[in-house]
Each structure stands twice: as structure tokens, then as C-alpha cells.
Amino acid sequence: MNDILQEFPAYRWFLEDKGEEYLKGFQSGHLKGSQKGFHEGYHVALKEGLRQGILQLGRQMGTLAIQQATINVVVAYFPELEKLARAKIMAFDDSERLQNLILNRDCLNSQEEMERALLSLDLDE
């Protein structure tokens, strides 16, 4: 680009008349601006990454809490199904379906219905 600029008399005049000072000032300002822009961009990206991480962690903790609550309800009604409940529920992360499972009266009335419901958790994801 400097080669092209050299063709213009105004540019040559600029370089001859304190152009080097201006050029150094420009380069220094450009570098400082680039560094400031990088730092600001880095901090914005870091904050956004942290925010997304916290949201994801919150979702995971919420899912884990629902999984544990579902296991607790199943085991309270049907202690014999604890091993199956833990295996199926911990491998399943659809919070809405897990809530529906523990709110379904049919499942809570019969061990066979609960077992059937647990076995079907991963069938129609």
C-alpha cells in the first residue's frame, strides 16, 4: 500500500514535512487502539462465556435436582425399583417428562405401571 501512496505528491510532501512523526504517532495510536479493542473484546467475550457457563450449570443443577426428586418419589413408593429408577432416571434429562412421571397417579398406584414407565423413558426421546 505504501508503494501506491508514494505516487501521490501530497503523500510525499507529508512524509518530507514531519511525516515520520505523524506516522509514528499514528502507528502508536493504532497499536494502543488495537490493544484496547482486544482487551475490551476479550472482556466482553469472557463475561459472555461466564454467563453462558453459569446458565448451563444452572440448567444442569436443575435437571439433577429433578432427577433426584423423581428417584426419591419412586423409591418412597416402590423401594424395590430403586436400582432401575436410578439407572433410568439419571440417564434421562427431560425434566418435563420426569415431572410428569412423578405426577402420574397411575404410576404411583402400581409398581408394574411405574416399572413400565421407567423402562419407557429412553424409548421415545
Give the tens place of pLDDT for each residue, 33-74: 777 777 777 767 767 777 777 877 778 788 899 899 999 999
Which of 7-11, 55-59, 115-119 has the lowest average pLDDT? 7-11
What 8-state DSSP symbol labels residue 8? S
Q: Domain coordinates of the chain in residue numbers? A: 51-125
Per the prediction, the chain carries an average pLDDT of 79
Model pLDDT, residue 11: 63
CB of 64 closer than 8 Å to CB of 96: no
Closest to 91 (Cα-Cα) out of 124, 125, 122, 57: 122
Mean pLDDT of 26-36: 71
Q: What confidence tier does 2 reach under pLDDT thresholds 50, 70, 90?
A: low
